[in-house]
Amino acid sequence: MTVQNTTSGVLSRVRSALARDFRAVRERDPALHSPLELLMYQGLHAVWIHRLGHALYRADMKVGARLVSQVGRFLTGIEIHPGATLGNGVFIDHGMGVVIGETAEVGDDVTIYQGVTLGGTGKQGGKRHPTIGDRVVVGTGAQVLGAITVGEDAKIGAGSIVVRDVPPRSTVVGNPGRPVIIDGRKVAPDDANGRLERLPDPVADVFRSLMDCIERLDAEVKVLREGGTPPPRIPGADCMGRAERQVKALTQDEPMFYGDGAHI
Protein backbone atom coordinates (compact mmCIF):
# COMPACT_ATOMS: atom_id res chain seq x y z
CA MET A 1 0.00 0.00 0.00
CA THR A 2 2.83 2.38 0.86
CA VAL A 3 4.54 1.70 -2.48
CA GLN A 4 1.26 2.27 -4.31
CA ASN A 5 0.70 5.56 -2.51
CA THR A 6 4.23 6.67 -3.28
CA THR A 7 3.88 5.75 -6.96
CA SER A 8 0.52 7.49 -7.15
CA GLY A 9 2.01 10.62 -5.60
CA VAL A 10 4.91 10.66 -8.04
CA LEU A 11 2.62 10.22 -11.04
CA SER A 12 0.38 12.99 -9.77
CA ARG A 13 3.33 15.38 -9.49
CA VAL A 14 4.55 14.41 -12.97
CA ARG A 15 1.11 15.06 -14.47
CA SER A 16 0.91 18.40 -12.68
CA ALA A 17 4.36 19.43 -13.95
CA LEU A 18 3.53 18.42 -17.54
CA ALA A 19 0.24 20.31 -17.41
CA ARG A 20 2.02 23.42 -16.17
CA ASP A 21 4.65 23.14 -18.92
CA PHE A 22 1.87 22.92 -21.52
CA ARG A 23 0.08 25.89 -19.98
CA ALA A 24 3.29 27.96 -20.05
CA VAL A 25 3.55 27.56 -23.81
CA ARG A 26 -0.13 28.29 -24.41
CA GLU A 27 -0.07 31.44 -22.31
CA ARG A 28 3.24 32.90 -23.53
CA ASP A 29 3.48 32.09 -27.22
CA PRO A 30 0.96 33.87 -29.48
CA ALA A 31 2.30 31.84 -32.43
CA LEU A 32 0.64 28.71 -31.06
CA HIS A 33 -2.50 27.98 -33.10
CA SER A 34 -3.26 24.35 -32.32
CA PRO A 35 -2.86 22.06 -29.30
CA LEU A 36 -1.05 19.58 -31.54
CA GLU A 37 1.66 22.19 -32.17
CA LEU A 38 2.68 21.83 -28.54
CA LEU A 39 4.27 18.51 -29.39
CA MET A 40 6.56 20.26 -31.90
CA TYR A 41 8.14 22.71 -29.45
CA GLN A 42 11.83 21.98 -29.01
CA GLY A 43 11.92 24.04 -25.83
CA LEU A 44 9.28 21.80 -24.34
CA HIS A 45 11.21 18.72 -25.40
CA ALA A 46 14.40 20.11 -23.85
CA VAL A 47 12.68 20.75 -20.51
CA TRP A 48 11.18 17.26 -20.39
CA ILE A 49 14.45 15.58 -21.33
CA HIS A 50 16.22 17.64 -18.69
CA ARG A 51 13.77 16.58 -16.00
CA LEU A 52 14.67 12.95 -16.73
CA GLY A 53 18.40 13.70 -16.74
CA HIS A 54 18.10 15.72 -13.53
CA ALA A 55 16.35 12.82 -11.78
CA LEU A 56 19.24 10.53 -12.76
CA TYR A 57 21.74 13.18 -11.63
CA ARG A 58 20.12 13.43 -8.21
CA ALA A 59 20.16 9.63 -7.97
CA ASP A 60 23.95 9.83 -8.42
CA MET A 61 23.76 8.26 -11.88
CA LYS A 62 26.00 10.93 -13.39
CA VAL A 63 26.99 9.09 -16.57
CA GLY A 64 23.39 8.23 -17.41
CA ALA A 65 22.38 11.81 -16.67
CA ARG A 66 25.08 13.13 -19.01
CA LEU A 67 23.97 10.73 -21.73
CA VAL A 68 20.39 11.94 -21.48
CA SER A 69 21.63 15.54 -21.55
CA GLN A 70 23.66 14.91 -24.71
CA VAL A 71 20.67 13.31 -26.41
CA GLY A 72 18.61 16.36 -25.53
CA ARG A 73 21.29 18.66 -26.90
CA PHE A 74 21.48 16.70 -30.15
CA LEU A 75 17.71 16.67 -30.64
CA THR A 76 16.92 20.26 -29.63
CA GLY A 77 20.08 22.38 -29.88
CA ILE A 78 19.56 23.33 -26.23
CA GLU A 79 22.22 22.40 -23.68
CA ILE A 80 21.09 22.05 -20.08
CA HIS A 81 23.47 20.46 -17.61
CA PRO A 82 21.65 17.67 -15.73
CA GLY A 83 22.70 19.27 -12.45
CA ALA A 84 20.82 22.50 -13.20
CA THR A 85 17.53 23.03 -11.36
CA LEU A 86 14.48 24.11 -13.36
CA GLY A 87 11.23 25.18 -11.74
CA ASN A 88 7.73 24.53 -13.03
CA GLY A 89 6.38 26.33 -16.07
CA VAL A 90 9.80 27.15 -17.56
CA PHE A 91 9.31 28.14 -21.21
CA ILE A 92 12.27 28.09 -23.61
CA ASP A 93 11.04 29.81 -26.78
CA HIS A 94 12.79 28.99 -30.09
CA GLY A 95 15.64 27.81 -27.88
CA MET A 96 18.49 27.14 -30.30
CA GLY A 97 21.83 27.87 -28.64
CA VAL A 98 20.53 28.13 -25.07
CA VAL A 99 23.11 26.99 -22.49
CA ILE A 100 22.31 26.46 -18.79
CA GLY A 101 25.15 25.53 -16.44
CA GLU A 102 25.43 22.90 -13.73
CA THR A 103 24.74 25.03 -10.66
CA ALA A 104 22.15 27.29 -12.29
CA GLU A 105 18.79 27.54 -10.53
CA VAL A 106 15.79 28.65 -12.56
CA GLY A 107 12.56 29.53 -10.78
CA ASP A 108 8.93 28.98 -11.74
CA ASP A 109 7.32 30.48 -14.85
CA VAL A 110 10.62 31.77 -16.27
CA THR A 111 10.81 32.59 -19.99
CA ILE A 112 14.11 32.10 -21.84
CA TYR A 113 14.67 33.04 -25.48
CA GLN A 114 17.18 31.75 -28.02
CA GLY A 115 20.92 32.16 -27.57
CA VAL A 116 20.76 32.75 -23.80
CA THR A 117 23.63 31.58 -21.59
CA LEU A 118 23.29 31.04 -17.85
CA GLY A 119 27.01 30.44 -17.44
CA GLY A 120 29.99 30.73 -15.15
CA THR A 121 32.84 33.24 -15.04
CA GLY A 122 35.72 30.87 -14.44
CA LYS A 123 36.86 27.41 -13.47
CA GLN A 124 36.14 27.57 -9.74
CA GLY A 125 34.07 24.85 -8.12
CA GLY A 126 30.92 25.17 -6.07
CA LYS A 127 28.11 27.56 -6.91
CA ARG A 128 29.24 29.38 -10.06
CA HIS A 129 26.09 29.90 -12.12
CA PRO A 130 23.18 32.31 -11.68
CA THR A 131 19.99 31.93 -9.70
CA ILE A 132 16.97 33.14 -11.65
CA GLY A 133 13.88 34.16 -9.68
CA ASP A 134 10.26 33.38 -10.50
CA ARG A 135 8.62 34.94 -13.58
CA VAL A 136 11.87 36.35 -14.98
CA VAL A 137 12.16 36.98 -18.73
CA VAL A 138 15.63 36.55 -20.27
CA GLY A 139 15.82 38.13 -23.73
CA THR A 140 17.46 36.81 -26.88
CA GLY A 141 21.22 36.41 -26.69
CA ALA A 142 21.53 37.60 -23.09
CA GLN A 143 24.51 36.32 -21.10
CA VAL A 144 23.91 35.97 -17.36
CA LEU A 145 27.23 34.98 -15.83
CA GLY A 146 28.46 33.99 -12.39
CA ALA A 147 26.91 33.12 -9.04
CA ILE A 148 24.57 36.10 -9.12
CA THR A 149 20.87 36.42 -8.34
CA VAL A 150 18.25 37.78 -10.71
CA GLY A 151 15.28 38.88 -8.63
CA GLU A 152 11.72 37.77 -9.30
CA ASP A 153 9.73 39.47 -12.07
CA ALA A 154 12.89 40.98 -13.58
CA LYS A 155 13.43 41.40 -17.32
CA ILE A 156 16.82 41.12 -19.01
CA GLY A 157 17.05 42.81 -22.40
CA ALA A 158 18.26 41.09 -25.55
CA GLY A 159 22.04 40.95 -25.88
CA SER A 160 22.70 42.12 -22.32
CA ILE A 161 25.71 40.83 -20.38
CA VAL A 162 24.81 40.60 -16.71
CA VAL A 163 27.52 39.96 -14.11
CA ARG A 164 25.95 41.64 -11.05
CA ASP A 165 22.83 40.92 -9.01
CA VAL A 166 19.60 42.17 -10.57
CA PRO A 167 16.97 43.72 -8.26
CA PRO A 168 13.46 42.23 -8.29
CA ARG A 169 10.91 43.82 -10.64
CA SER A 170 13.59 45.57 -12.66
CA THR A 171 14.54 45.80 -16.33
CA VAL A 172 18.22 45.41 -17.18
CA VAL A 173 19.84 46.28 -20.51
CA GLY A 174 23.30 46.81 -21.99
CA ASN A 175 26.86 45.62 -21.54
CA PRO A 176 27.44 45.51 -18.66
CA GLY A 177 23.79 45.10 -17.78
CA ARG A 178 22.34 48.07 -15.87
CA PRO A 179 18.84 48.53 -14.47
CA VAL A 180 16.82 51.15 -16.32
CA ILE A 181 13.55 50.40 -14.54
CA ILE A 182 13.08 49.30 -10.91
CA ASP A 183 9.64 48.77 -9.38
CA GLY A 184 8.04 50.44 -12.39
CA ARG A 185 10.14 53.62 -12.12
CA LYS A 186 12.82 54.71 -14.59
CA VAL A 187 16.26 55.15 -13.06
CA ALA A 188 19.50 56.65 -14.30
CA PRO A 189 21.61 53.86 -15.87
CA ASP A 190 24.70 54.89 -13.91
CA ASP A 191 22.82 55.27 -10.65
CA ALA A 192 20.15 52.58 -10.37
CA ASN A 193 19.27 53.99 -6.93
CA GLY A 194 22.66 52.94 -5.62
CA ARG A 195 21.87 49.26 -6.03
CA LEU A 196 24.36 48.57 -8.83
CA GLU A 197 28.12 48.64 -8.55
CA ARG A 198 29.98 50.54 -11.24
CA LEU A 199 32.19 48.11 -13.10
CA PRO A 200 35.85 49.10 -13.57
CA ASP A 201 36.79 50.27 -17.06
CA PRO A 202 40.61 50.41 -17.31
CA VAL A 203 40.55 51.49 -20.96
CA ALA A 204 38.34 54.47 -20.12
CA ASP A 205 40.67 55.31 -17.20
CA VAL A 206 43.65 55.45 -19.59
CA PHE A 207 41.77 57.74 -21.97
CA ARG A 208 40.74 60.03 -19.11
CA SER A 209 44.36 60.30 -17.96
CA LEU A 210 45.52 61.11 -21.50
CA MET A 211 42.81 63.75 -21.91
CA ASP A 212 43.86 65.33 -18.59
CA CYS A 213 47.45 65.46 -19.87
CA ILE A 214 46.42 67.04 -23.15
CA GLU A 215 44.34 69.71 -21.39
CA ARG A 216 47.17 70.50 -18.98
CA LEU A 217 49.79 70.72 -21.73
CA ASP A 218 47.48 72.83 -23.86
CA ALA A 219 47.06 75.29 -20.99
CA GLU A 220 50.83 75.47 -20.46
CA VAL A 221 51.49 76.09 -24.17
CA LYS A 222 48.91 78.87 -24.18
CA VAL A 223 50.59 80.56 -21.21
CA LEU A 224 54.04 80.26 -22.83
CA ARG A 225 52.78 81.77 -26.09
CA GLU A 226 51.47 84.75 -24.18
CA GLY A 227 54.89 85.23 -22.62
CA GLY A 228 53.90 84.15 -19.17
CA THR A 229 55.26 81.56 -16.80
CA PRO A 230 53.32 78.30 -16.53
CA PRO A 231 52.30 77.23 -13.02
CA PRO A 232 54.76 74.94 -11.24
CA ARG A 233 54.21 71.21 -11.54
CA ILE A 234 52.72 69.55 -8.50
CA PRO A 235 55.05 66.84 -7.15
CA GLY A 236 53.70 63.39 -7.96
CA ALA A 237 51.23 64.77 -10.52
CA ASP A 238 53.02 63.36 -13.58
CA CYS A 239 50.01 62.77 -15.78
CA MET A 240 51.91 61.04 -18.59
CA GLY A 241 53.58 58.75 -16.09
CA ARG A 242 50.20 57.89 -14.61
CA ALA A 243 48.82 57.06 -18.05
CA GLU A 244 51.85 54.89 -18.84
CA ARG A 245 51.41 52.98 -15.59
CA GLN A 246 47.73 52.40 -16.37
CA VAL A 247 48.57 51.12 -19.86
CA LYS A 248 51.20 48.79 -18.39
CA ALA A 249 48.73 47.44 -15.83
CA LEU A 250 46.13 47.00 -18.56
CA THR A 251 48.45 44.92 -20.74
CA GLN A 252 49.99 42.85 -17.93
CA ASP A 253 47.01 42.07 -15.70
CA GLU A 254 45.22 38.80 -16.35
CA PRO A 255 41.87 39.62 -17.96
CA MET A 256 38.61 38.42 -16.43
CA PHE A 257 37.75 35.08 -17.96
CA TYR A 258 34.13 34.50 -18.84
CA GLY A 259 33.48 30.80 -19.23
CA ASP A 260 30.32 31.74 -21.16
CA GLY A 261 28.91 28.33 -20.40
CA ALA A 262 31.96 26.46 -21.67
CA HIS A 263 32.58 24.84 -18.29
CA ILE A 264 29.05 23.76 -17.46
| For residue 140, pLDDT beyond 90 | yes
2-194 CATH: 2.160.10.10
Average confidence (pLDDT) over 207-216: 80
| For residue 260, pLDDT beyond 60 | no
Q: What is the pLDDT of residue 71?
A: 95
Q: What is the pLDDT of residues 5-60, one digit of tens each?
A: 555 655 677 677 788 888 888 888 888 888 888 888 899 999 999 999 999 999 99
Q: At what angle do helices 202-225 and 239-252 cross, to 10 degrees?
A: 160
Average confidence (pLDDT) over 101-106: 94
Q: How far apart are CA 53 and CA 84, in angstroms?
A: 10
Average confidence (pLDDT) over 187-204: 57
Q: Count of H helices and E strands in the chain?
A: 5, 16
Give the C-alpha distances (Å, rounded to integers) separating 27 from 103, 112, 258: 28, 14, 35
Question: Which range in 80-89, 229-238, 244-253 is most confidently predicted, on average pLDDT?
Answer: 80-89
Q: What residue spans define the domains of the chain?
A: 2-194, 202-252
Burial of 59 (0-12, 13-18, 19+ CB in 10 A): exposed
Q: What is the pLDDT of residue 250?
A: 57
Tell me the three state secondary structure of residue 86. strand
Buried b (16+ CB within 10 A) or exposed e, 71-83: ebeeebebbbbbb
Q: What is the pLDDT of residue 195?
A: 47
Please give the mean pLDDT across all residues of the chain: 81
| Type and span of the H or E element at 203 | helix 202-225
**If pLDDT is split at 50, 70 and 90, which confidence band does 197 have?**
very low
CA dihedral in degrees (67, 73, 79, 85; nearest 10)?
Answer: -50
- For residue 131, list its beta bridge partners: 105, 149
| For residue 199, pLDDT beyond 90 | no
